[in-house]
Structure 1
Amino acid sequence: MKGNPMSFKLSLVSAALAFGLVSTNSQAIEVTDKARKIAQSTIIVDSHIDVPYRIKKRWEDVTEATAKGDFDYPRAVEGGLNAPFMSIYIPATFEGPGKDFGVQMAHELIDSVEAIEARAPEKFAVAYSTKDVEDHFKRGVISLPMGMENGSPIAGSIDNLKMFYERGIRYITLAHSLSNHISDSSYDLRRQWKGLSDFGKELVVEMNKIGMMVDISHVSDAAFYQTLEITKAPVIASHSSLRRFTPGFERNMDDDMIKALGKNGGVIMINFGSSFVSKETREWQSKLSKLMEEAGTKWGEPKAEEIAKKYREENPYPYASLEMVLDHIDHVKALVGIDHIGIGSDYDGVGDSLPRDLKDVSYFPHFVQGLLNRGYTEAEIKKILSGNFMRVWKQVEELATKM
């Protein structure tokens, strides 16, 4: 989720926090030299960071230190983050006949990623393959691979799919907050396809053929299972967490889905946003939403702002913690093993709702320390940081050469 007045991206979390909630950046965990060394000596893949849409709304030069946001070059270096997937996010409302501006926006956001490399080629390089990521790491350059969040710009055309692959897109989140021409969405009560559309089923096959990862974050449960029936390659959930800890939140994955993902060989990239990992946070949001519904108002209206302000004063926002994020990781490991866990933070996409000790991309050593404190070995941690995701990406690349 991201805050965006045009669409669902104006989440309850982002909107409520925009009215004045201030997070505490206190560091409750003591980071050891070992944790810092692991973070700095390992490729760290974060499969979902919303820099392109962030700088479209409010431009900042992320090749230097920035006043806003969760990502910039100095903080990425401090955290050891060297392979952040840039999310080419297209609002769910950019769907349907005559809405070619979704295609245009996708190109503009890809352009913005290429511009980051052009401004600072000694710091950044667009990555098109696993080999690129590995080569950039050896050179000390931060890779910028790209994934498309919401398949609307495909616009029913396999030629568009191939075009975006040529431009550097390496995964597609099939849908976003609304059903589109490819798939039903977990957020949308209208299940027009009862899973994937006929074109969506064709698209999954074509993505396998060209070496494009299939991302099942955001899609309905039915679409998830249909995708697994069709795909010849492992899939990813680029920024999802577990429904076990957020009951009723279909955007997250339940235990049966995690087990199916494990059999597929795929990986779930854990989302850091408080509302993705904390039951208490989701309940806080639901109560605020109900108050607005009862008052006959919605976000963007003065009455809604008044309700949110009063609610916030009486009920401080319940931030999640690093420990809660680690609980999700522990549970995936218990269900299907260490080989199916990764990081999809949603930095720059969940507003100021991030847990203490995970406030921006400089905090990856804190994440590593948390895993060490829970008894994870260095080999296991490296799998979570990048090994599992890179395995899936390589398998997708290899399958494409065979198909």
Structure 2
Amino acid sequence: MMKFTTLSAALALALGSLSVAAQQVHQASEKAVKLAQENILIDTHIDVPYRIHNEWDDVSKATDRGDFDYPRAIKGGLNTPFMSIYIPAHLEFEGKGKSYELANQLIDMMEALAYRAPDKFAIADSVTDVEKQFKDGLMSLAMGMENGSPIEGEIKNLHHFYERGVRYITLAHSQSNHISDSSYDIRRKWKGLSPFGKELVTEMNNIGMLIDVSHISDAAFYQVMELSKVPVIASHSSLRKYTPGFERNMDDDMLLALKKNGGVIQINFGSSFVTSSANSWYDRRDEAQDKAKEAGKDTTDFKAAYLKKNPFPFASLEQVLDHIDHVVKLIGIEHVGIGSDYDGVGDSLPVGLKDVASYPNLVQGLLDRGYSDADIKKILGENMLRVWRQAEAFAKAH
């Protein structure tokens, strides 16, 4: 998750400005729909918990807000969403007990969701859970923690959250914490991982907790690669090839290291992760607002006015597919999956991938590009299941 300012009602104006080429969406065929709906489809990053913590929505039913609810997920074929236990990277949270408290509250909410709708949802703590619940027609709610702040320097807290069902931890978020430097934070306190962070990586391996390298600095990433005995995931990252200078995404050298590690990158759908034009739009807007302030102008409604004059350059489905193609060509089909960041990137989602009902569009795009059914199944879920199994097996052996 990266919190961007909502693009507001002017969204329609921006959509209207898109070129015809950018608006082209692969119409999902019956085959594409069946591939999405009849196989395990894992999305490793959906920000429902924090969304409904801020403003309650019963996502077991159709909702008017957000990118996820049960009916839309079923339509799209999503059966294994990793619900993000997202902890803001605020100084008032880090090291003061509030991170730990919020993480437990968000986990409680996911357990309550499964309890209230047992005919729809079930908590998934393992690959076995996912496979059984898929056969039983239930949606598996797996959990990943976005930002390791709730660990609060205590290995016992790692074990606590594992027992509560968390199966991956994004070591840091938008600011460096007591575990790792963040890709967004120019203050590189640890020059990678902290001493405790290095200890934590080893213990995460030992207990079967997957390490998520999204959000961390490049130095921290390579230190994880040296330390981890288990394949890692990038739960919601895309490629720096298409967003030069954006450290939050992964470059080709990192992808090659990921291949050596055996891990998987789960492609983020947010437009600012997919194209450089969308990535730099926010900077251009903020610079314009700063100049307006310096000139003494009223900036109360600046963002809406800027958006009206400078429509947001939404990414296209084709551009998301380009990211997948590049990973496959560089390191192989076994190392890519889906980490959409639904409910985490505001209104910045690409044309054709606006919510959890949209996965068949992605599948159709893959079919149109010549991907086999077997390869598509790997992208949808098999690659992530492989990594998860390996983490479970290593823990069992240790």
Q: Shorter-chain TM-score category?
A: over 0.9
Q: Work out the CA distance in 1 between the residues paired with 2:95 and 2:89.
A: 14
The 5-angstrom pairing of residues 209-224 of structure 1 reads 209-224=206-221
Pick which of 28-37 and 366-375 moved more: 28-37
In 2, Cα distance between the equivalents of 1:28 and 1:182? 41
Aligned to 1:399: 394
Residue 171 of structure 1: aligned partner = 168
- Is 1:44 matched with 2:34? no
Q: How does 1:1-400 map to 2 (within 5 A)?
A: 1-2=1-2, 9=3, 11=4, 14-15=5-6, 17-18=7-8, 20-22=10-12, 28-93=25-90, 99-296=96-293, 303-400=298-395
Question: Distance in 1 between the 2:24 and 2:352 partners?
Answer: 6
Between stretches 167-176 and 304-313, larger displacement belongs to: 304-313
Q: Structure 1 length as normaliser, TM-score?
A: 0.93
Deviation at 1:136, TM superposition (A): 0.4
Task: Give structure 2 stretches of 5+ with no counterpart.
Answer: 17-22
- Counterpart code for 1:327: D
Partners of 2:65 and 2:179 in 1: how far apart? Answer: 34
Deviation at 1:278, TM superposition (A): 1.0
Q: Secondary structure at the match of 1:362?
A: coil
Q: Is the 8 A contact 1:36 1:365 kept in 2?
A: yes
- Seen in structure 2, the aligned counterparts of structure 1 residues 284 and 210 have a Cα distance that, compared at 3 Å, is same
CA drift of 1:313 comes to 1.7
Deviations 1:27-48 (A, max 9, x none): 7322111101111111000000
In the alignment, the residues of structure 1 paired with residue 375 and residue 300 of structure 2 have an alpha-carbon distance, to the nearest angstrom, of: 45
User: Residue 88 of structure 1: SS of its match in structure 2?
Assistant: strand
Hey, what's the Cα distance between the residues in 2 that align with 1:346 and 1:167? 22
Give the stretch that moved more between structures: 305-314 or 238-247: 305-314
CA distance in 2, matches of 1:322, 1:27: 8
**Is the CA contact (8 Å cut-off) linking 2:25 and 2:361 kept in structure 1?**
no
Secondary structure of the 2:181 match is coil
Deviation per CA, 1:4-31: give whole Å up to 9, x if none. xxxxx3x2xx34x036423759773221
One-letter identity of the residue aligned with 1:116: L
Q: Residues 31-72 of structure 1, C-alpha deviation per residue, up to 9 Å, x if partnerless?
A: 111101111111000000000000011101000111100001
Contact (CA 8 Å) 2:42, 2:380: kept in 1 or not?
yes
Distance 1:394 1:270 in 2: 20
Aligned pairs, number: 389
Letter in 2 for 1:385: L
Which residue identity is paired with 1:251?
R
> 1:277 touches 1:328 (CA, 8 Å); kept in 2?
yes
TM superposition shift of 1:311: 1.7
Assess, with a 3 A threshold, how the Cα gap between structure 1 residues 39 and 324 changes in structure 2: closer, same or farther. Answer: same
Q: Letter of the aligned partner of 2:284 in structure 1? A: K
- In the alignment, structure 1 segments of 5+ residues that lack a partner are 3-8
Distance 1:97 1:287, change over 3 A: closer
Q: 1:291–1:307: 8 Å Cα contact kept in structure 2?
A: no
Give the distance between the partners of 1:179 and 1:159, measured in 2 at CA: 21
Taking the aligned partners of 2:43 and 2:205, their CA distance within structure 1 comes to 22
Counterpart contact for 1:94–1:101, Cα < 8 Å: no
Partner of 1:5: none
Q: Quick one: structure 1 residues 258 and 303, their matched pair in 2 at CA, closer, same or farther if it must change by over 3 Å? A: farther
Q: Among all aligned residue pairs of Structure 1 and Structure 2, give the percentage whose two residues are the same amino acid.
A: 61
Q: Could you tell me how far apart the structure 1 residues matched to 2:60 and 2:316 are?
A: 29
Per-residue deviation at 1:234?
0.3
Distance 1:37 1:269 in 2: 22
* CA–CA distance in structure 2, aligned partners of residues 30 and 198 of structure 1: 50
The offset of 1:284, in angstroms, is: 1.8
* 1:284 aligned partner, one-letter code: W
CA distance in 1, matches of 2:241, 2:332: 17
1 CA distance for matches of 2:120 and 2:345? 26
Q: Is contact 2:269–2:341 with CA below 8 Å preserved after alignment? A: yes
Separation (CA, whole Å) in 1 of partners of 2:386 and 2:11: 40
**Offset, 1:94:** 5.1
Letter in 1 for 2:334: D
User: In structure 2, how many angstroms separate the alpha carbons of the residues matched to 1:303 and 1:214?
Assistant: 46
Task: For residue 291 of structure 1, report the CA deviation from its aligned partner.
Answer: 1.5
Is the Cα–Cα contact under 8 Å of residues 170 and 215 in structure 2 kept in the other structure? yes
- Does the aligned pair in 1 maintain the 2:149–2:177 contact within 8 Å? yes
Residue 96 of structure 1 and its aligned partner are, at CA, apart by 6.5
